[in-house]
Chain A
Amino acid sequence: MSQLFSKVVLGGALALLSAAPALAAKDLVIGVDSNMPHLDPANTNDTLSQSVERTMYQGLFGFDKDMKLIPALAEKVDSDETATEFTFHLRHDVTFHDGTPFNAEAVKVNLERVMNPENHLSRRSLVSMVSHVDVVDPYTVKFVLSQPFGAFVNNMAHPGTFMISPKALAQYGKDIATHPVGTGPFKFVSFATDTVKTTKYESYWKPGLPKVDSVTFKSVPENGSRFAMLQTGEAQFIAPLPAELVKAAQGIPTLNVVISPSIIARYVALNNMRKPFDDVRVREALNYAVDKNAFIKIVFSGYAEPLDAPIPPKLAFYSKQGEWPYDPAKAKALLAEAGYPDGFSAELWGATSTLAKRAMEFLQQQFAAVGVKITVSPLEAGVSTAKLWNVQKPEDATMQMDFTAWSSSTGDADWGLRPLLDSKSFPPNLFNIAYFHSAEADKAIEAGLGSADPAKRAVAYAEAQKIIWKDAPWVFLSVDQLIAGESKRLSGVYYMPDGGILTEEAALN
C-alpha cells in the first residue's frame, strides 16, 4: 500500500505543477445532475438539454432570468384583434454559426419542420395552431393561426421553436440533434457522452457578448462529487445544489449559494367527479388540513414557498389569491357538514421518488389528524401515465388523489391553467386529471387565450384563478425554490424559474 501511496503522491505533485496555467483562459464549466440526451430543440422534453441549447440557439423571442418575455431574433411583433395573426419583424444583423443569414425564409423552414406531423417532433404542440407561415419580405414573417391563441409569442420564446440553420438542417437531417447550428452566443464544439462543449461565437449579434471563451456542461449525477467540483474550481457553477449541502457551501468563502424561485407548482389533484371529492366542502377541508409551512420544512428542507394561487408567481398573469390557512378544526367541521363526521378512506397516488414518498407520508399524517385515512401508493411512471393520461372517459378514471407537480414551460398562465383545469382538457386530450369542470373557469381561461392584448388577458386570468382557488379542485401546496452554487469569480449566469440555465452574460474575473 505504501508504494501505491507514494505513486499517488508523486502523481499529484506533478499534476499540481501542470495545472497552474489553466486559469488564463476564461472557460466556464457548469456541473449538472443528469445527461443531456440530445440537442434538437424541437424534440427536447428536458430542461437540462434546453439549457445547453440556449447557449447555441435562440428563438424569435426569449425569456430573461425572471422569465419575462423579451425580443430576441425578432425586434417586435404585431398581432391582430382576434389573436390569429402574428407578424414578426426580424433583426437584420444575425447570421447562423455556419454563415447562413438569418431571415424570414429561415423562420419558415424551421416552423414548417416542427409543424410537419411526419417528423414526429415532440414539441409540435407548440405550433399545432399554426395554419401557415408567410414570408412577407426578407425580414418580416407572418404566422396565420387556425384558432385564436393569445399566448403565441410565448410559444415562440420556448426552446421548442429555436431557430436552426436551414443549411445545417438540410445537411444533417435527423442528426441535427448532435450537430447543433444556431445563432446563439456560443458555437457547438463537441457532444460526447456526458459532456457538451461550446466555444465563443465571434460574430454574435449582441455587442460585447459573450465575455467568456467557452461554456462546457458536464453531467455529474452524484451530489457530493458535483459539489466537490465546485470546491476544487473544476466547475464555476453547479445546479442543482442539494439542500443538505447549502450550509456547507455557505461556509466556504469563495462560493455563493443562489436561491431563486421556480415555476414548479406542487399540489394534490383531487378527482372532482368522484365521491367524496365532488363536494366542495370536502375539498376545502383537505386544504385546511395541511400545514403548508410544515410541509415545506419537511419535504423541501425549507426551500419552497406556499402556493398562493393556482399558478406560481413567476408565470405571466399570476394573480395572488391568499392562502388556505392551516385549520384542522375547521377541516373537521367541514367534513362533518359534508356528511363525513368520521372522515373517509382514500388512496393517494404519487411518483416513486424519495421526495414524492416523503411528501405523501407527510400528507397521510396531516389528513389522518382530521379523520381521513389515506393509503399511500407510489406508482411507477409507466403505470401512472397509463392510469392517469390514457383514461378515455372521465367515469373510467380510478384516481382519487394524486400528488403531482406542474411547470408551465411557456412561462404563460395559459399552459399553467388550460391543460390542467379546463373541462376540454380531460385525458386523453390533455392533463386535467382532477376532472375539474367549471363553465365559468372555462370561459375565463378561453378568454385569456382569445386575445393577444396583455391587459385583456390579465383580467381574464385573474378571474380564472379566483374561481379555481375558491373551488379548490386541488390541495394547493408549494412552489419549489431552486438552489445553485457558484464561484465568486463568476457573474452573469442565471438559474431561471423553469430550471433552465442562462449563460449569455457569463463573465469570469
Chain B
Amino acid sequence: MLAFILRRLAGTVLVLLTVSVFVFGFVRLLPGDPARLVAGPDATAEDVAAVRADLGLEGPVWRQYVRYIGQTLRGDLGRSAKTRQPVIAEIGARFMPTLWLTLVAMGWSTLFGLAVGVLSGVKRGRWEDQTAMVLAVSGVSFPSFWLGLLLIDLFSVRLGWLPTGGDDDWRSFVLPSITLGAGVAAVLARFTRSAFVEVAGEDYVRTARAKGVPERGVIWKHALRNALIPVVTMIGLEFGFLLGGSIVVETVFSWPGLGRLLVDSVSFRDYPVIQAEILLFSTEFVLINLVVDVLYAVVNPEIRLR
C-alpha cells in the first residue's frame, strides 16, 4: 500500500508540473498588457514597470518560469493585484468557508443519495423507485442559481426563517448546502441505483440468498459493498468539484469562499490569484483521486493496489 501511495504521489508531482506550465503560460498568452491593466488608468510608466515586476513578467520566459516554480515551492504565490495582500493569505481566508460548505453539502447528499439509490434498487420498478428517480432527474436538471434564488425567495423573503446569504452561523449553511448538494444527491442516487441493480444480478448475491442469508444481510453486506466501488469514485469526483468552490452557489448566497474569489479575480483580472486557484484546484483534484483509489481497497479488499 505504501509503495503504491508513494508511486502515485510521484505521478502527482508530474501532473502538477504540467499544470504549472499551463498556469504559467496563461498570463503570458493573454492578449494585451496585463501590467498596464492592473496598474490602472492613472499609472505612470514607472508604476506599470513596478507592477510588471510584481507579476513576474520581466526577463526571458524560461527564467520567469524557473522563478515562478521556485517561489511557488516556497509557498510564495505573489501578491493579489486587487487587494495587494499575499495570495496565500487571500486563498487561506477563503478555503475554510468552502471546505465547510462542501462537507455539509457532501454529507447530507451522500447519505440521502445512497439511501434513495438503494431504496430504488431494492424496489426496482415500483412506485418508490419511480418517485425517487423523478426526484433525481429533477435534482440534476435544476440549475443551481435558480434553485438557490427559489429557496431564498421561499425561506428568506416569504417565510423569513433563514438568512439570504453570508456565513454567520449554522442557519447560513442551510440554503447553500441544500442548493449545492441537490445535484450531487441526485447523481449519487441514480448511480447507486444502477450499480446496485447490476450487482444484484451477480452470482455471489444469488449464492448468498441460496445459502439463506437474510435479505437485509444480502443487501447491505453482499450487494451494497460491491455496488459502492463506482459510487466512491463518483463521490470523490463530486467532492473535488465542490471543493473548488461552487461559483454559482457562492455567488447567489454571497458565501465568502474560493468560488467567489475566482469570480472576483477573473472579473478584476487578478492574475496571481487566478493562477494560484487553478493550481490549488488541480492539486486538490489529484489528491482526492489518490484518496479514492486507496478507498477502493478499503471498500473491497479484493482489489490489490499496484
Contact = CB atoms under 8 A, between A and B. Distances in A.
Interface string A212-246: 00000011111011001101101000000000000
A122 B43 contact: yes
Contact of B31 (A11, A45, A380): A380
B171 interface: yes
Contact of A385 (B32, B83, B174): B32
A4 B161 contact: no
B164 A385 contact: no
Nearest to A221: B251
Contacts of B32: 380-387
A225 B164 contact: yes
B156 to A, nearest CB: 5
Interface string B135-176: 100000000010011001101110111111110001100100
Contact of A224 (B36, B45, B149): B149
Interface residues of B, number: 58
A178 B84 CA distance: 10
B165 A229 contact: yes
Contacts of B97: 193
A119 to B, nearest CB: 10
A389 B84 contact: no
Nearest to A3: B112
Given A11-B161, A13-B161, A382-B269, A122 B40 contact: yes
A221 B112 CA distance: 31
Contacts of B40: 45, 122
Contact of A222 (B47, B254, B256, B269): B254
B165 A193 contact: no
A117 interface: yes
Interface residues of A, number: 52
A225 B248 CA distance: 12
A179 to B, nearest CB: 12
Contact of B162 (A12, A43, A125): A12
A38 B83 contact: yes
B33 A231 contact: no
A229 B252 CA distance: 11
A390 interface: yes
A228 B31 contact: no
A284 to B, nearest CB: 29
A298 interface: no
Interface in A392-447: 428, 431
Nearest to B116: A1
Contacts of A383: 31-32
A192 interface: yes
Interface in A200-215: none
Given A11-B174, A34-B264, A16 B161 contact: yes
A224 B40 CA distance: 30
Contacts of B159: 12
Contacts of B178: 4, 8
Which of A34, A192, A225, A380 has the most chain B CB atoms inside 10 A of its CB?
A225
A385 B156 contact: no
Contacts of B174: 8, 11
Given A16-B161, A220-B165, A385 B36 contact: yes
A194 B254 contact: yes
A117 B46 contact: yes
B84 A177 contact: yes
Contacts of B47: 120, 122
A37 interface: yes
B41 A225 contact: no
B152 A224 contact: yes
Contacts of A178: 85
B161 A15 contact: yes
Nearest to A387: B32
Contacts of A232: 156-157, 160, 163-164
Nearest to A389: B36
16 contacts: A15-B162, A37-B82, A117-B46, A122-B39, A122-B40, A195-B166, A220-B254, A222-B254, A225-B165, A225-B253, A232-B156, A381-B269, A382-B33, A383-B31, A384-B32, A385-B36
5 closest cross-chain pairs (CB), A and B: A12-B161, A382-B32, A193-B256, A383-B32, A386-B32
Given A8-B178, A382-B36, 8 more contacts: A15-B161, A16-B161, A45-B42, A122-B47, A225-B254, A228-B153, A381-B32, A383-B31
Interface of A: 1, 4, 8-9, 11-13, 15-16, 34-35, 37-38, 43, 45, 117, 120, 122-125, 174, 177-178, 192-195, 218-222, 224-225, 228-229, 231-232, 234, 380-387, 389-390, 428, 431
